[in-house]
Amino acid sequence: DAGITQSPRHKVTETGTPVTLRCHQTENHRYMYWYRQDPGHGLRLIHYSYGVKDTDKGEVSDGYSVSRSKTEDFLLTLESATSSQTSVYFCAISEPTLKRGYSGNTIYFGEGSWLTVV
Amino acid sequence: DQQVKQNSPSLSVQEGRISILNCDYTNSMFDYFLWYKKYPAEGPTFLISISSIKDKNEDGRFTVFLNKSAKHLSLHIVPSQPGDSAVYFCAAMKNSGYALNFGKGTSLLVTP
């Protein structure tokens, strides 16, 4: 358990409406991520953050914005939701790992937010 | 451009036998490789990882093998159990990076 909470867990919204997904972590991790998962695509990075007010784009960032005003919260906003943004969204954090066979960062995921845009 | 490839969308194995899941990558800058397991309606769960300086890492029933020259890694599960039925994602990360590149996943079914 990486102490990640996503909200809402499920949401149905109409095309053109704004939507914000929240990721909250309790363990002071510096790096946070938003991924989306779609059939046939695996998980794709939307945006990530490497500190308060420090964010960068991932491979599928169009149509999304993020904000991180405090360490524990990373918000993903769809300014004007489209049907192509119907997906499962996963927040994640990165934690340094040092153990036999592996010394690097390990990324841990939240439980997901299911978003349907109708 | 898919830099991490899992070419088998699905795999079926009998309980007690070995499951072998394969993964290929194209970017020689990847230094860290991780496997995740995902059940429906849950987030991906970290399973096992390996650094590029190693060629094998094991944790209980799970072993990951890395062949850097072939840009290939595999996950072995021995013995396979019905509870192992899930989608398995291979992922890779550069030494200088902090984000993972994922494959599309392999759905494993372990039958009794």
Tens digit of each residue's pLDDT (9 = 90 or more) over B23-55: 999 999 999 999 999 999 899 999 999 999 999
CA distances from B110 to A6, B12, B44, B85, B107 (A): 31, 6, 19, 5, 10
Give contacts of A112 with chain B, Cβ < 8 Å: 41-43
Which of A98, A60, A92 has the alpha carbon at shortest distance from A74? A92
pLDDT of residue A103: 75
Least confident of A30-39, A97-106, B78-87: A97-106
Average pLDDT over residues A22-48: 94
pLDDT of residue B96: 60
Percent of chain B, pLDDT > 90?
92
Q: Which two tokens stand for residue B19?
A: 């499951």
Average pLDDT over residues A32-45: 93
- Identify from B25, B49, B63 which residue to disrupt to test chain A contact, counting A C-beta atoms within 10 A and taking the largest count: B49
Give contacts of B45 with chain A, Cβ < 8 Å: 109
Q: How confident is the model at residue B8 (pLDDT cuts 50, 70, 90)?
A: very high
**Taking every pair of C-alpha atoms in chain A, what is the biggest distance, in angstroms?**
49
Q: How confident is the model at residue A104 (pLDDT cuts 50, 70, 90)?
A: confident
Q: Which of the pair, A40 or B85, is modelled with greater confidence? A: B85
Residue A40 burial (CB < 10 Å; 0-12/13-18/19+)? exposed
- Distance between A8 CA and the closest CA of chain B, angstroms: 14
* Averaged pLDDT of chain A: 93
Nearest 5°: the CA angle A3, B85, A84 is 65
Cα torsion B44, B46, B50, B55 to 10°: value is -80
pLDDT at B97 over 70: no
Cβ–Cβ contacts within 10 Å for residue B97, how many? 15
- From the list B43, B50, B99, the residue facing A102 with the nearest CB is B50
Give contacts of A44 with chain B, Cβ < 8 Å: 102
- From the list B41, B98, B103, the residue facing A42 with the nearest CB is B103
Task: Tell me whether residues A31 and B98 touch, CB distance under 8 A.
Answer: yes
Cβ–Cβ contacts within 10 Å for residue B109, how many? 14
pLDDT of residue B50: 93
pLDDT of residue A106: 87
Residues of B with CB under 8 A from a CB of A: 4, 6, 31-32, 34, 36, 41-46, 49-51, 54, 56-58, 89, 91, 93, 95, 98-100, 102-105
Distance CA A73, CA B41 (A): 23
pLDDT at A2 over 80: no
Distance CA B36, CA B44 (A): 6
Distance CA A110, CA B8 (A): 26
Q: Which two tokens stand for residue B40?
A: 């429906």
Task: Tell me whether residues A106 and B34 touch, CB distance under 8 A.
Answer: yes
Quick one: residue B84, left, alpha or beta (phi over 0 = left, psi -120 to 50 = alpha)? alpha
